[in-house]
């Protein structure tokens, strides 16, 4: 009995240490929702690029297809950030934890450098007309951000990041398939990741 109690106490200590050093308020369901946003954006992008009726949305010569895709991507990004923050705050309150602490600050700093770098590079590519490289660049730098931040949260985040990088590299080789790979990376992989995190840590 004493040995069992010792193992139990050691397990509790380990759990407390992990909670103090890891940001575990990330919601798996938010990953699923973010993936759904991305898939909807991908379908809309495909419609804009390939449907002859999409010209009705361009408002004459005021908007180009690239502008609409860029605006769509920004809206998806803002919606994803808001969803992730709201659901993380809800999960943190449920677990009686603070969403803003040393670990979350470290996580934010780790992911911000690759994300900001990738965002600036993407704007430069857009300004120079290299639209076919944007999806691959976003996937690669998003994957780098996830792998950099994974030491502060779930291990699954690291594997999601590695897969995103792989898709981005494939996107550089097949730049005409950028929209499809973007949907796979930000959509399908996010949904799978979200379900895994939810089933493993929340259900």
Identify the pLDDT of residue 24.
62
Q: How far apart are CA 91 and CA 27, in angstroms?
A: 7
The answer to whether 157 touches 148, Cβ cutoff 8 Å, is no
Identify the pLDDT of residue 22.
66
12-21, 74-83, 137-146: which is most confident: 137-146
Distance of alpha carbon 157 from the chain centroid: 9
pLDDT digits (tens, 9 = 90+) for 167-192: 999 999 998 888 899 999 999 999 99
Identify the pLDDT of residue 16.
46
Identify the pLDDT of residue 3.
54
Sign of the Cα pseudo-torsion (92, 97, 100, 103, in order)? negative
Helices and strands (DSSP H and E) totals, the chain: 8, 0
The answer, yes or no, to whether residue 202 has pLDDT greater than 90, is no
User: Tokens representing 188?
Assistant: 């399908």
Q: How far apart are CA 10 and CA 128, in angstroms?
A: 57
Q: How far apart are CA 76 and CA 72, in angstroms?
A: 6
Identify the pLDDT of residue 55.
60
pLDDT range class, residue 117, cuts 50, 70, 90: very high
The answer, yes or no, to whether residue 17 has pLDDT greater than 50, is no
More confidently predicted of 53 and 178: 178
- Whole-number mean pLDDT of the chain? 81
More confidently predicted of 11 and 136: 136
Identify the pLDDT of residue 190.
93
């Amino acid at each position: 009995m004493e040995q069992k109690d010792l193992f139990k106490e050691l397990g509790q200590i380990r759990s407390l240490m992990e909670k103090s050093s890891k940001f575990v308020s990330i919601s798996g369901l938010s990953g699923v929702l973010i993936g759904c946003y991305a898939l909807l954006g991908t379908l809309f992008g495909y419609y804009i690029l390939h449907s002859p009726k999409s010209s009705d949305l361009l408002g004459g010569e005021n908007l180009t297809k690239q502008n609409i895709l860029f605006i769509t991507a920004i809206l998806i990004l803002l919606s994803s950030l808001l969803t992730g923050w709201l659901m993380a705050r809800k999960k943190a309150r449920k677990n009686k934890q603070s969403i803003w602490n040393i670990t979350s600050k470290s996580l934010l700093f780790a992911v911000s450098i690759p994300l900001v770098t990738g965002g600036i590079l993407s704007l430069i590519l857009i300004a120079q007309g290299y639209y076919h490289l944007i999806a691959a660049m976003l996937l690669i730098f998003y994957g780098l951000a996830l792998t950099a931040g994974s030491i502060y949260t779930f291990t699954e985040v690291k594997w999601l990041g590695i897969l995103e990088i792989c898709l981005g590299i494939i996107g550089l080789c097949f730049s005409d398939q950028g929209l499809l790979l973007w949907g796979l990376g930000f959509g399908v992989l996010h949904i799978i990741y979200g379900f895994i995190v939810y089933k493993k840590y929340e259900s």
